[in-house]
Structure 1
Amino acid sequence: MSAAGPRVTGLIGCTLPPACSEPKRREQLRLSGALNGIDYVEVGDDGVTLCVHLFGDIPSDVAVANVRISGGDRITGLRVISVHEEHEPDLHDDTCLRVVLDREGDHTPYCLCLVDAASGNDPNSWMAYPGFDPRYACATLRFRLDCAKDADCATASHCVEAPPAPPEINYLAKDYASFRQLFFDRIAIDMPAWRERHVPDIGVALVEAMAYTADHLSYYQDAVATEAYLATARRRISVRRHARLVDYRMHEGCNARALVTLSLPAGEVTFAFDQLLLLVPPAGQTDVHAGAISPAQLEKARAQGALIYAPMPLDGATAITVVAAQSTIRLYTWGDAMCCLPRGSTQAVLVDAPLAVPNEPPASQPSVTDGGKATAAGKNAPVQAAAVATPPQRALRLKPGDLLIFEEVRGPSTGNPADANPAHRHAVRLTAVEEQVDPLNQQRLLQVSWDACDALPFDLCLSTRMPSPDCSWVSDVSVARGNVLLVDHGDYAPGQCRCDALCAPPDAIDNDDYPGLGSALAEVPDACTRCGALREDCWLVPGSTHYTCCRCEGAVQDVLRIADDTGHVLPGSLLTWAEPLPGEANAPVCRLLLRDPRQALPQLDVHGGDLADVLVSDPVDAQWRWDARQDLLESGPDDRHFVVEVDDDAAAHLRFGDGVLGRRPQAGDFFRARQRLGNGTVGNVGRDSIVWLAWSGGEVPPGLVPRNPLPATGGTAAESMAEVKLFAPGAFRARPLRAIIAEDYAAFARQNTQLQGAACALAWNGSWYEADVVVDPLGRETLLPSLARTLAAGLHPYRRIGHDVAVRSAHYVPLLIELHVCVLPDFLQAHVRAQLVDRFRAGLRSDGMPGFFHPDRLQLGQAVYASALMAEAQAITGVAHVDVLTLARMEAGKPGDVPADGVLWLAAAEIAQVDNDPDHPDRGSIAFTLGGGR
C-alpha cells in the first residue's frame, strides 16, 4: 500500500471512544488489506530507537514529518530525528519502520501517530496518514515498564461492570420485632403491590419465620462474641476453657469424707465394700433407729433424699471384718490413776481380752471403786502365766493400716457421759501394732503407734477422780473405737438408657445415622432386651460412613465411620467429684482427709466400643473402659480419655478426643456410663449423723450400729465464675516453673512440708554460681541427710542452667540473755521463776504450747527483740517490771551488752538458739535475776 491511498478523515489518537475489550477491527483490517495501520511499537534497548510494525507494507514516502509523538509527564516534546525502513530478518519476523528519537521518555505512556504532513502541531488537529485507518493510525508505547517480571502486564478491560448498590440494611435491627419490620420494609420496595399484613397469610408467615431465624442468628452472633473473652463470657464451660489457657483449673467442688465406726455386740462379720452403703436419714424423718435397713427401706430413703456414703478402699482393701471386741477398746494406764494421753502423743496401750489363767479370775485395771480405794480382781492371786499350755487367741485384730478413733465418753469433772466434750475425738491410722502382756497381772495388751502427722491435738483424759465428798476414782473416761471405715459422699444412681435405635424393627434399622448397626444387631439379637435391663445411661454414637479412594486395581477400600457428634450430656445433676486417695502406702488420716478440689475427678464409669463387646459383657472388660482426665492436652491418639464439663445448670457434658489429643469414638459405637451423684457441702454432715447401714450381701447381724464420731469434712462447692475471673488472670504467676534468682530456690524449697523456712544465696565458686539453699527443718534443729538429698533432688528440675544446687542446714547462733524481773510483793519469787523458765524453754511448755525459744517459733533470719522478751515475761502473773540486762551473741558478747536499738539482728541463714541446757551451755542460755516478792 502506497501513500497515494485514499484519504480518511476524522480525529486520531490512542484513546478514541468507545473503550472496547475485544479488538475485532484489528483482524478485519489485517484480512481486508484495504487500509493500513500500526499493529504495535517496540522500544529498543537504547531507549531512543523505536520499531513500528504495520498491518501492511511500509509506505515508501514516509518521512520525519509524518511521525509524531505526544504525551509524557516529566519528559515531554519528544522529536523524531530519523525515519527509515528496517530490514533485519534476524531481529524481527517482519519489516518495520525504524524511528530514532532525540531522547528517551519517562514512565508514563506516550502516543505515536503516523499523520499527514500537512497536520498542525496540535495533537487535536492531526489527521491520519493517507491510506491509514484513523483508529489504528496511533499506538501507545512505554519506554519503561512498571510491572515486575512475575506480574501480568496486559492491559485491564475498560468495560467493567459497576458493582450493584448494596441494599439499605438497618444494622440496629437485633430482635424479632425489628427484623420483622425490616423484612416488611424491604418487601414494600421490591414488591409494592403486595400489602398483605394479616397473620394467617402465607407471606406474612414466611416473613415471621425469617424474622425468628434472624433473631436466633443475631443472638448466636452476640453470644459467640461474648464468649470469646474471659471477662465477658457468661457460660461456665467457656470460662473453664479460658481459664485453662492460662494454666488455671476451674474446679467443680468435691464430695465430703467421713470416718464411720461399726459397733457389734458379739461375734464378727465381714462386709464387702461394693455391697455396703452408709446413710444419713432423710430430713424430717421421725423415729430414727440406728442400725441396718432393708433394701426396700434403702430405695425409699433414696427417694426421700437421704445422703448416702460408700466405703473407700484403703491400700487395695475390698472388705472389712467387724470384730465386736473392737467396738469399744479400753486404754490401759498400767494401774496408775489420774492419767491422760498428752498432746502430741503418737503411742497408746490398748487393753486386749484378759489372759485366761487356771484357777484365777481374769485381771482388770482399776475401775469405779468405793470410797476411792482401788480394787482389782485377782490382785493377791499368784501369777501362773507359765502354767498356761497354749495361749488363747487374742480378741483384738488390729494391724498396721487400721483406723482408730479416740473418744472422750465421760466428763472429766463429773464422770457423766452427757458432759463428755465432743471436740475431744481424734482419728489416727496405725503404723505399728505390738502385742504385750503386763507382767504384774498378766493383762494382755496391744501397743499401737501412729504417724506424727496424726499426733493428738489435745490432752486426752483416761482416768480422773470425782470432787469431794464423792472422791471416787473414774476410769475409762476416754476409749478407742475400732472397726473404722473411711467413707465418702455419693451414690450410683440408675441411668436412662436410650434403646430406641436398638429396638427398631429389622426393616427400620437406621444404618445411615448409626453405621454398622444392622450387622451389630445381627450378632446380638437380644440387644433390645439387654438394653432395657441396664440401670445405666447408654447411647449410640451417630455419624456416617466414608470410603477412601481406590489407590490401585483390586485394592481393599478403607471404610471410615466418622462420628458427627461425639459429645454426650448425662442426665441428672450434682455429679460426684472426688480426689484419688494418696498413692503412698499406709497414708495417715491427716493425708486422707486433706482435700484439694482441683485434683478431683468425676466419679463416672464409662465403657464404649462395639455393641457386642460393651452391651453383652457384664461387667465390661477393662479394655473398653474410658478414663476421665482434667484435660486432653497430654492424651495420645489411642488413649481412651474424656473430659467432663459442667454447664450452668449442673449438667455434665462428656467431651471425647479428636483423634490427635485423645481417641475419637467411631460412629456406631455403643457407650454405657454409670454415674455417681452427690457432691459439695451438703455432704458435710455433723457428728453422729450417719446411723443407717444397708448391705446387699445377706442378713445383717442384730445390734450392728454405724456411727460417725467425727463430722464429715471436705465437701466443697463448685468454684463460681466470678472467682475464676478474679484469680485466673494471675494464675500463671502463682506457679513459677524455673528458678532464676536466689529467692526462687528458697520458694521452691519451702514447698516441702517438712520445712518451716528456707533461704538461699548465689555464691560464685570460681567457675559458675552455686545456689546455697539453707533450710530450717520443722520441729528439729538438725537437718537429716535423707531430707537434704530429697530437697536437692526436688530442686534440680527447677535450677537454672549453669547453676549448681547445695542444701545446707541453718547456722544456729547461741545467745546470751539475762533478764531482771521485779516481782510484786504478794507473790513468791520461786513461783515466778518457775513460770519464767517454763515460758522461755526451748521445748513445749507445761500447757502444751511451744516455748518462746522453741525451734518452730524461731525462723531463718528472725531478729530477737528486747521488747518481745519483756512482753513475754510481763505476761506472767506477779511480774511488776522487766529489764533486759544482756542480749548478745554468746561467742562475741559479754554480760551487759544490749543493742542500742533493742534489736539483735541475724543474717538470712542464721537462727537464734537458746536451749538453756546445763549439759550444753554452748547452745545458748537465759538467766533471770529476781527482785521483790517474797
Structure 2
Amino acid sequence: DLGVVLLELFCGIGDMLAYYLDAQAAEAFLPTARQRQNVINLCKLISYRLDGPVAATTSLRFSLAAPLDADLVIPAGTTCRARLEENDIVFETTEDATIPRSRTSVDAGARQGKRKTETFTADGDTGDPIILAGKEIAHGSIRVWVQAQEWTEVSHFQESGSDSRHFMAETDALDITRIVFGDGLRGAVPDSGAEIRVEYLETLGAEGNLGPHLVTELLTAIYLEGGLVPLAVTNPVPATGGADRETLEHARRQAPAEVRSLWKAVTKEDYLALAEGFPGVAKAQVLDVNDCKNIRYYQVNLAVAPDGGGPPSALLKQDLAEYLESRKVITVEINLFDPVYRPVSIDAEVFAYAGEDLDLVRSRVEQALADFFAFDRMSFGAPVHFSDLVALLDGVRGVSHVRMYTPTQDVDIRAGQIAALGQVNLEVRR
C-alpha cells in the first residue's frame, strides 16, 4: 500500500530529526556532551582546560666509578634511556645536578619525553595562531621565545596588558596544539618578521610509567675540563604519574569541582579538587584536625597517589606543593605524604563445575581478583567488603561456589591507605 509506505517514510524521517535535535541539545551541556571538542569548548567557558598527556616523573641517579678532583655538573636537559622490548623510553633531567669532588653519585629529578623545537616567523596578524607539529605534547611543557625573549603561558588574556608577553596553548579534540598570542589590547602581538621559537616535550603518557632500575643508558655526553666523563645511570625509584590525555568523564567531574573551589584552597573539598585536578595525580585524600587529633590546627595533610599507582615522585610532590602553596591561606601548613598500599591476601577454596578446565578456572579467578583490586577502582580509606569478594568469585565463569578462609570479614582500610591485592592462595577443585 503506497499510503502506508509514505506514512512509514514520514515516521522514519521524523524519528531521525528528533534524534538530531536531542543529540544537538545534549551537546550543549557538560554532563551530557559526548563529543570531545564540545566538552573542550564548554569547559573553556568556565576557565577549565582539559589536560593533555602527562609525562611520568622519577629520580635518576648518576654514579662515578671513583671520586673526581673537581665538582662535576650534570646540566638540566641531560637525556637518558630505558631500553624495553616494545619501546625505548627517554627521560630528561629538569634541573642541574652536581657531584661534589668527594662523592661519587647524585640524584636528579627527571621527566619522560623527547625535547622538540620548532621555529616560525611572525606575520603580525593578531588572529593567526601557530600550529605545532607535535601530537603528544606533555602538559605544561611548552615554552615560547620571540626574538630570544621568553614569553609566559597564561590560561586567558583577561589580565594581560597591551605589552604583556603572554601566549595561550590550545589543544583540540584531534590533539592539534595551537599557540595563540594577544590582539594588541589584551596581550602583545609579535612584530612582523620576528623569529618565534617553540620548545616542548613529546611524551608517551601512561606508557612512560615503568619500574625501578630500568633506565640504564646515558644519551648526553658529560664533559669535565674538556674530557668525557664515564657515568652510570639508573632510576632507583619507579617512574610514576604518567597519564594519557584527560578523559571526558574526568573533565565532567573535575571541572565543576574546581569552579566551586574558585581555584583557592580553603576547605577540605577545595584541597581535594585542586589536588586531584593537578596533572599526574590520580587520587588524593585530605586530613585535617577534624580527622586526626595528632594534626594541629592550620595544618593539612594530603595523601597523594600518582597516575598509574605506586609512590609519587619527589618532582611531582614538589610541583604539587608549589601549586597548592600559591592557592592556600597564608597561615596553613601543607604536608604531602605517600599513600600506603594495604595488601589484602586471599585464601580460598574454589569449586568448579564438572567438565570445566581447572587451570582455566584458576586463571579466570586470578584475573577477576586483579581487576577487582585494580588501582583505578580503589579509593583512599575504602574498605574491602567480604560479601563483595564472595560475590566476585561466585560470579566467575565455571565456578560453582567458593569457601573463603582469608579474609573472613570486612577489611578495614585506614585513612591514607589504598587496598591492593596481596598474596593469593587458591585451591581449585571439583
Q: What's the TM-score once normalised by structure 1's chain length?
A: 0.26
Name which of 270, 273, 282 aligns with 2:72.
Answer: 270
The question of 1:636 aligning with 2:161 is answered yes
- State the partner residue of 1:716: 243
**Distance of 2:80 and 2:244 partners within structure 1:** 22
- State the partner residue of 1:258: 58
The question of 1:239 aligning with 2:39 is answered yes
- State the partner residue of 1:606: 144
Task: Please tell me the residue identity of whatever aligns with 2:59.
Answer: L
Closer, same or farther in 2 for the Cα pair 1:754/1:604, shift >3 Å?
closer
Aligned with 2:48: secondary structure?
coil
Give the C-alpha shift of residue 684 in structure 1: 0.9
**Distance of 1:717 and 1:754 partners within structure 2:** 22
Q: Where does structure 1 lack aligned partners over 5 or more consecutive residues?
A: 1-171, 173-222, 285-304, 328-482, 494-535, 544-562, 578-600, 609-613, 615-619, 759-774, 788-792, 798-856, 858-934
**Distance of 1:569 and 1:224 partners within structure 2:** 29
Name which of 309, 318, 323 aligns with 2:91.
Answer: 309
Within 5 Å, which residues of 2 pair with 1:825-864? none
- State the partner residue of 2:257: 731
Closer, same or farther in 2 for the Cα pair 1:633/1:718, shift >3 Å?
farther
Closer, same or farther in 2 for the Cα pair 1:324/1:681, shift >3 Å?
farther
Aligned-residue sequence identity (percent) comes to 22
**Distance of 1:484 and 1:604 partners within structure 2:** 25
Within 5 Å, which residues of 2 pair with 1:642-681? 642-681=167-206
Closer, same or farther in 2 for the Cα pair 1:224/1:662, shift >3 Å?
farther
Residue pair 1:570, 1:652 contacting (<8 A) in 2 also: yes
Closer, same or farther in 2 for the Cα pair 1:486/1:720, shift >3 Å?
same
Aligned with 2:219: secondary structure?
strand
**Distance of 1:707 and 1:644 partners within structure 2:** 34
Give the C-alpha shift of residue 695 in structure 1: 2.8
- State the partner residue of 1:779: 294
Closer, same or farther in 2 for the Cα pair 1:737/1:645, shift >3 Å?
closer
Deviations 1:395-430 (A, max 9, x none): xxxxxxxxxxxxxxxxxxxxxxxxxxxxxxxxxxxx
- State the partner residue of 1:166: none
- State the partner residue of 2:214: 689
Give the C-alpha shift of residue 692 in structure 1: 0.6
Give the C-alpha shift of residue 261 in structure 1: 1.6
Closer, same or farther in 2 for the Cα pair 1:732/1:652, shift >3 Å?
closer
Within 5 Å, which residues of 2 pair with 1:183-262? 230=30, 231-232=32-33, 234-236=35-37, 238-262=38-62
Give the C-alpha shift of residue 260 in structure 1: 1.7
Residue pair 1:657, 1:663 contacting (<8 A) in 2 also: yes
More strand as a share of residues:
2
**Distance of 1:261 and 1:796 partners within structure 2:** 35
Task: Please tell me the residue identity of whatever aligns with 2:94.
Answer: M
Q: What's the TM-score once normalised by structure 2's chain length?
A: 0.52
Residue pair 2:222, 2:229 contacting (<8 A) in 1 also: no
**Distance of 2:46 and 2:156 partners within structure 1:** 13
Task: Please tell me the residue identity of whatever aligns with 2:294.
Answer: G
Give the C-alpha shift of residue 747 in structure 1: 6.4
**Distance of 1:725 and 1:754 partners within structure 2:** 20
Aligned with 1:244: secondary structure?
helix
**Distance of 1:267 and 1:796 partners within structure 2:** 44
Name which of 541, 550, 575 aligns with 2:137.
Answer: 575
Residue pair 1:687, 1:710 contacting (<8 A) in 2 also: yes
Residue pair 1:573, 1:651 contacting (<8 A) in 2 also: yes
**Distance of 2:57 and 2:258 partners within structure 1:** 31
Task: Please tell me the residue identity of whatever aligns with 2:213.
Answer: D
- State the partner residue of 1:441: none
Aligned with 1:655: secondary structure?
strand
Aligned with 1:695: secondary structure?
coil
- State the partner residue of 2:119: 538
Give the C-alpha shift of residue 712 in structure 1: 0.4
- State the partner residue of 1:705: 232
Name which of 552, 556, 566 aligns with 2:128.
Answer: 566
The question of 1:321 aligning with 2:121 is answered no
Task: Please tell me the residue identity of whatever aligns with 1:234.
Answer: Q
Closer, same or farther in 2 for the Cα pair 1:634/1:542, shift >3 Å?
same
Within 5 Å, which residues of 2 pair with 1:229-628? 230=30, 231-232=32-33, 234-236=35-37, 238-268=38-68, 270-274=72-76, 276-281=78-83, 283=85, 306-313=88-95, 318-321=96-99, 325-327=103-105, 483-493=106-116, 536-542=117-123, 563=125, 565-577=127-139, 601=140, 603-608=141-146, 614=147, 620=148, 624-628=149-153
Give the C-alpha shift of residue 258 in structure 1: 0.8
Deviations 1:267-321 (A, max 9, x none): 236133146221112536xxxxxxxxxxxxxxxxxxxx632211122xxxx3421
Residue pair 2:126, 2:183 contacting (<8 A) in 1 also: no
Residue pair 1:539, 1:672 contacting (<8 A) in 2 also: yes
Deviations 1:821-866 (A, max 9, x none): xxxxxxxxxxxxxxxxxxxxxxxxxxxxxxxxxxxx9xxxxxxxxx
Residue pair 1:258, 1:708 contacting (<8 A) in 2 also: yes
Larger radius of gyration: 1
Residue pair 1:248, 1:731 contacting (<8 A) in 2 also: no
Equivalent residues, number:
270
Give the C-alpha shift of residue 689 in structure 1: 0.8
Within 5 Å, which residues of 2 pair with 1:853-892? none
Residue pair 1:264, 1:324 contacting (<8 A) in 2 also: no
Closer, same or farther in 2 for the Cα pair 1:738/1:666, shift >3 Å?
closer
Closer, same or farther in 2 for the Cα pair 1:274/1:485, shift >3 Å?
closer
Aligned with 2:184: secondary structure?
coil
Closer, same or farther in 2 for the Cα pair 1:714/1:745, shift >3 Å?
closer
Residue pair 2:268, 2:286 contacting (<8 A) in 1 also: no
**Distance of 1:233 and 1:644 partners within structure 2:** 23
Cα RMSD after superposing both structures: 4.4
Closer, same or farther in 2 for the Cα pair 1:745/1:239, shift >3 Å?
closer
Closer, same or farther in 2 for the Cα pair 1:749/1:306, shift >3 Å?
closer
Aligned with 2:160: secondary structure?
coil
Closer, same or farther in 2 for the Cα pair 1:709/1:738, shift >3 Å?
closer
**Distance of 1:733 and 1:693 partners within structure 2:** 44
**Distance of 1:275 and 1:746 partners within structure 2:** 37
Task: Please tell me the residue identity of whatever aligns with 1:538.
Answer: T
Give the C-alpha shift of residue 486 in structure 1: 1.3
Closer, same or farther in 2 for the Cα pair 1:280/1:732, shift >3 Å?
closer
Deviations 1:789-812 (A, max 9, x none): xxxx97699xxxxxxxxxxxxxxx
**Distance of 1:229 and 1:256 partners within structure 2:** 33
Task: Please tell me the residue identity of whatever aligns with 1:690.
Answer: V
**Distance of 1:227 and 1:665 partners within structure 2:** 36
- State the partner residue of 2:365: none
